[in-house]
Chains A and B, each alone.
Chain A
Amino acid sequence: MEEEDLSKVSGYVSTRGFRLAASTWRPLGARLDRVAGAVFILPAVVVILGFSIFPLLASLYVSVSRLSFNEGGVDLKFVGLDNYAKLIVGIDRVHLLGLAGPATPLSIAVLLAGYGLLAFALYRYVRSGDRTAVGMFGRVFVAVVAGGLLWLLVTTIMTSGRPGTLVVTMVYVGVDVTVQYLLALGLALLAVQHLPGRRFFRVVFLLPMMITPVGVAYLFRMLTDTDKGPLYPLWAHFGLTDVSWVTNPWGARLAVMIGDVWQWTPFIFIVLLAAIETLPHELVEAAVVDGANRLQVFWRITFPLILPATSTVVLIRLIEGFKIIDLPNVLTNGGPGTATESLTLHAYTIWRALDIGGSAAVAYILLILVTFIGVSYVNLFRRRVTAMT
């Protein structure tokens, strides 16, 4: 049937000749059909290989090399793990990991509580019925790394020591994402109420997200200036003109975190708002009919139903949060001292001094940290939430 149609169209091709050609072409066509999928995927694969995998591998190689600019070109010398050693045990250790101070009662208590919780979680898994060898290995690994990070956090923050860029970044991410989520949830719950002007405020709440981060950094640089900034009358009223936000390490970190919260709360807000607005009304109405109060409706219906959206948006913010650079760079240049320097800014300052290998090593440490936290989060929390709903 198909051959006939084609011979009519071509007109001068004899049926015999066409059959011959078709018998030759059929296997080729079938073969093309088989590879069509691969052919269609190929451009995307090439793009990913070229723009993702190749730079990833190239920067891995750069991180174990020393790159120097010589007469007429660039010289790449393999130095093994030197760049990592410099960061973790060498001259840049305090910069990256911080300085641990002598233990205080508070730091010991927090460490004990943290390790107790980790041990309890492992114990529960061991006692549970669905444990597997792989699951056990994964959990022990997570517990060991999380225990290490906790030790780093506690001994550099809760003592007379000082945190390095790794700890500062984790503080930024932890505080920022938590505060952003709580604020965004509150605003989203408010914005779904039938209040006057809610359309206007929905737009207003979104504005900070539209501003470029560097602009936000300059804005907060002006706002935190107690001496000549736009909030001067306010500071003067409270007698705070001689107090500077940005010369005290925690004041400066707080300024960076407020800026980040201000800018990124809208992102979580819009996702949660969409999630809340698409909730089925029937469930809420049924609960109200059954006599549930507002708090019960929130905890038993709204919150569990928006958990999938929550887990996704928190994951996105976690990954994005680790890459913070604009705010500390513009607001304080990483100062006072190295107090507000994030990992990305750390990599950038090393890069600026043309230590490209060292910079790549910092970037890889960041990649490992983000991957560890992202994968742990997905495995331990997100998957459970998705299964639950």
Chain B
Amino acid sequence: MSRLLARAIVLVVGGAVLLAACSNGTPSSNGNKFSGVTVRVVTFTGPQIAEPLQRRAPDFERLTGAKIQIITVPFSDLYQKLLTDFATKTNSYDATVFDPQWMGDYVPSGYLEDLTDRVHNDSALQWNDIAPFFRDFSATFKGKVYTVPLDGDFQMVYYRTDLLQKDGLKPPETWQDYVSIAQHFQGKDLNGDGKADYGSCLAMKRSAQSYWAWISIASAYLQSQGTKQGAFFNLNDMQPLTNNPAAAAALNVYKTLSKIGPPDQLNNDVGDSRGLFVSGRCALSLDWGDIGPLAVDKTQSKVIDKVGAVILPGSKQVLDRSTMQLADCNATLCPYAVNGVNHSPFAAFGGWSGAINHASSSKVKDAAFAFLSYMSQPAQSSSDVTIGKTGFNPYRTSHFTNLGPWETSGMSEAAAKNYLGAIQSSLQSPNMVLDLRIPQTNYYQQTALDTALAQYLAGELSTNATMAQITSQWNKKTDEIGRQSQLDAYKASLSVTK
């Protein structure tokens, strides 16, 4: 009898140990824990972002038995595809890798699973290794964690080190510098093929990434008092900051740049502008972190070790919120200025992040979380962020400190330090501009702002008409949803402690 009891105790203890081992979320220790479970993950039609998910899904299946189905839809459809799927309770997706800005629409409606406990209990995820900005802002909504960051997003300026060095030019500090450097190189042969090349290559196509580029420029003029000041709305009455001399200055810079670049720049998205830059046809570009790894990709780059990155250029004049006029920077107006220049690095988009559908079954949710965790764990992500085609950019402390994977990818130590330094200086800036995250953010940016910018660049609207159109459309939408609730949501999105 006592032997039987001893066996039973051994079995129970053994089982408990096994359960504990399984519950830490590490796929390698899960065996076939998720055998028979299928997780449907939706993201945008890549190749970026979808590529690493598709590439690593079979590995994850071998480790855990869970089958991962990656479903892709065009980026411009992803937001409403998800929203309509959740709202109509179709629930055809168990997880999504999406834009964390949309949490403003998805979280209050209860569509996304609260991941707070899971991220803290999963030791393999190494939650604290993720840079505080991505942990506390990108992944968090009103104090709770809803996403697992898979990508770190900041816009930066890239320049050709060889060209600037040869002509004795410094990387741009202000947007005026950027314009004059672009003008200097426009029409010159920059890659030795005998063809005239371009001073600057930007993504200005409609319904693509154009509005982020404009916000990157406008931020320098609109926000100078630190992150909590915000760059989109007045914090007293939710009036848009899109109809004032600062917005006009940014529009003028943008319009000037539309003419210093490839002839079909108005029809270029980031795929086109990146292709042009790494083939050596542009002196400058404005982009997320993607150009860094693409520039050392031997299969396509003609600018290996010829590319430098800097924090977004700034401005010596900023919007004085009391007079709503442009004023010269001083210690009060621009407390974070460097050499009299106000820099406002823009955390455009916030980085692709994984989230889980609250309505899925618990077993599927467990498998989905294990997959997202697996993708984010340093073992996988530290090499993924060094590959250009993944679209993933560094977001963990270890991505910045461990230079090994970067050097393996083909970057020289100096280039890696320069590239990571530009991201870090943006990440550590106390005047970082947070991307908009309020209900129907998608309308404000992707529809109203994007269309007005496209019309402005095409000459359909004057500067004043563009500002008036954006402002009236934003105000109409704010009133439609509720001015006070939108103001509350906007304030909540800014009160982040880094």
Q: A interface vs B, CB < 8 Å?
A: 66, 69-74, 91, 162, 225-227, 241-247, 249, 332-339, 349-355
Whether B87 contacts A226 by the Cβ 8 Å rule is no
Are A353 and B264 CB-contacts (below 8 A) given A333-B206, A337-B460?
Answer: no
Contact pick for A335, options B108, B109, B206, B447, CB 8 Å? B206
> Contact at B460–A349, with CB atoms within 8 Å?
no
The docked-state distance in angstroms from the alpha carbon of A246 to that of B206 is 12
Which of B87, B208, B262 is the one whose CB lies under 8 Å from A69?
Answer: B87
Q: Within the complex, what minimum Cβ distance (angstroms) separates A149 from chain B? A: 22
Task: Specify which chain A residues have a CB less than 8 angstroms from the CB of B262 in the assembled complex.
Answer: 227
Q: A243 and B263 in contact (CB under 8 A), knowing A71-B110, A91-B473, A337-B458?
A: yes
Contacts of A244 in B (CB 8 A): 263-264, 266-267
Contact A71 B460 (CB under 8 A): no
B301 close to chain A: CB less than 8 A: no
Complex CA gap A352/B445 in Å reads: 12
Total contacting residues, chain B, CB less than 8 A: 43
Per the bound structure, the CA–CA distance linking A37 and B381 in Å amounts to: 68
Contact of B454 with A337 in the complex, beta carbons under 8 Å: yes
Contact A335:B110 (CB < 8 A) given known A349-B447, A353-B442: no
The answer, among B109, B207, B457, for a CB contact under 8 Å with A70, is B109
**B263 in contact with A247 (CB, 8 Å):** yes
Q: Does B83 contact A (CB under 8 A)?
A: yes
Bound-state CA distance A89–B142 (Å) is 41
* Residue B476, interface by CB 8 Å: yes
Among B82-139, those with CB < 8 Å from A are 83-84, 87-88, 105, 108-110
Number of A-B contacts (CB under 8 A): 106
A-B contact pairs, 7 of them (CB 8 A): A74-B87, A247-B458, A335-B207, A336-B454, A351-B80, A353-B446, A353-B448
The answer to whether B472 has its CB under 8 Å from any CB of chain A is yes
Q: Flag B129-163 by CB within 8 Å of A: 1 or 0 each.
A: 00000000000000000000000000000000000
Could you tell me which residues of chain B, from 422 to 456, have a CB within 8 Å of some CB in chain A?
A: 440, 442-443, 446-448, 451, 454-456
* Complex contact B476–A91 (CB within 8 A): yes
Q: Which residues of B contact A227 (CB under 8 A)?
A: 262-264
With A354-B83, A354-B442 in contact, is A247–B76 under 8 Å at CB?
Answer: no
Q: How far is the CA of A339 from the CA of B476 in the complex (A)?
A: 24
Docked pose: A55 CA to B38 CA in angstroms? 34
B451 touches A354 (CB 8 A): no
| Extra inter-chain contacts (14) besides given A162-B460, A227-B264, A335-B205, CB under 8 Å | A69-B87, A226-B263, A227-B263, A242-B196, A245-B264, A247-B267, A247-B458, A332-B206, A334-B206, A337-B457, A352-B80, A352-B447, A353-B447, A354-B442
A66 CA to B263 CA, complexed, in Å: 41
- Within 8 Å of chain A (Cβ to Cβ): is B459? yes
Q: Is B393 an interface residue (CB 8 A)?
A: no
A72 CA / B109 CA spacing, docked (Å): 6
Q: Does B463 contact A (CB under 8 A)?
A: no
Minimum C-beta distance from A13 to chain B (A): 56
B447 smallest CB distance to A (angstroms): 4
Q: Please report the C-alpha to C-alpha distance between residue A333 and residue B456 in the assembled complex, in whole angstroms.
A: 15
Partner of B263, one of A242, A339, A351: A242
Mark contacts of B324-347 with chain A using CB atoms, 8 A cut-off: 1 yes-contact digit, 0 otherwise: 000000000000000000000000
**Is B377 among interface residues, defined by CB-CB distance under 8 A?**
no
Closest to B275 in A: A228
Q: Which residues of B contact A70 (CB under 8 A)?
A: 109
* Contact present for A338 and B267 (CB under 8 Å): no
Residue of A nearest to B206 (CB): A335
CB-nearest residue of chain B to A74: B87
Most chain B CB within a 10 A radius of its CB, from A243, A339, A354: A354
A205-B53 Cα distance, complex, nearest whole Å: 42
| Majority SS at the chain B contact face | helix
B265: interface (CB < 8 Å) = yes
Out of B77, B105, B460, B473, which one reaches A352, CB within 8 Å?
B77
Chain A residues near B472 (CB, 8 Å)? Answer: 91
CA distance A74 to B83 in the complex (A): 10
A149-B205 Cα distance, complex, nearest whole Å: 31
From A66, A244, A245, A353, name the one whose CB has the most chain B CB atoms within 10 angstroms: A353
In the complex, which residues of chain A have a beta carbon less than 8 angstroms from the beta carbon of B451?
338, 349
- In the bound assembly, the distance between CA atoms of A354 and B195 in angstroms comes to 45
Residues of A within 8 A of B440 (CB): 353-354
Q: Does the CB pair A353–B476 fall under 8 Å?
A: no
Mask, B182-216, CB within 8 Å of A = 1, is 00000000000001100000000111100000000
Which of B109, B456, B472 has the most chain A CB atoms closer than 10 A to its own CB?
B109
Chain A proximity mask over B52-83: 1 for CB below 8 Å, otherwise 0: 00000000000000000000000011011001
Q: Judging by beta carbons under 8 Å apart, are B263 and A337 in contact?
A: no
When A333-B208, A349-B447 are in contact, do A339 and B88 touch as well, CB less than 8 Å? Answer: no
Given A352-B77, A353-B447; A71-B109 close (CB under 8 Å): yes
Query: When the two chains form their complex, are residues B88 and A74 in contact, meaning their CB atoms are under 8 A apart?
Result: yes
CA distance A332 to B458 in the complex (A): 12
Report how far A332 CA is from B205 CA in the complex, Å: 8
Q: Which residues of A contact B206 (CB under 8 A)?
A: 332-337
CB pair A246 B264 closer than 8 Å: yes
Q: How far is the CB of B488 from chain A (nearest CB, A)?
A: 16
Cα of A241 to Cα of B195 in the assembled complex, Å: 10
Residues of chain B lying within 8 A (CB to CB) of residue A338: 451, 454-455, 460
Contacts of B459 in A (CB 8 A): 337
A246→B458 contact, CB < 8 A:
no
Docked Cα-Cα span, A71 to B447, in Å, equals: 23
Name which residue of chain A comes closest to B262, CB basis: A227
Of A227, A332, A336, A351, chain B has the most CB atoms within 10 Å of the CB of A336
Q: Which of A71, A339, A351, A355 contacts B108 (CB 8 A)?
A: A71
Q: Looking at A162, A243, A335, which has the most chain B CB atoms within 10 Å of its CB?
A: A335
Within 8 A of A (CB), among B282-298: none
A244–B83 alpha-carbon span in the complex (Å): 38
Task: Give Cα distance in the complex from A355 to B87, angstroms.
Answer: 15
> In whole angstroms, how far apart are the Cα atoms of A233 and B442 in the complex?
41
B110 pairs with A225, CB closer than 8 A: no
What chain B residues lie within 8 Å of A162 (beta carbons)?
460
Cα-based distance from A336 to B208 in the complex (angstroms): 12
B264's partner among A72, A74, A247 (CB-CB below 8 A) is A247
Rank and list the top 7 A-B pairs by shortest CB-CB distance, nearest first.
A337-B458, A336-B458, A335-B206, A353-B447, A337-B455, A244-B264, A337-B460
Instruction: Tell me whether B458 and A69 are in contact (CB under 8 A).
Output: no
Q: Which of B77, B88, B266, B476 contacts A246 (CB 8 A)?
A: B266
A350→B84 CA distance, assembly (Å): 15
Residues of A close to B461: CB separation below 8 A:
337
Q: How far is the CB of A91 from chain B (nearest CB, A)?
A: 6
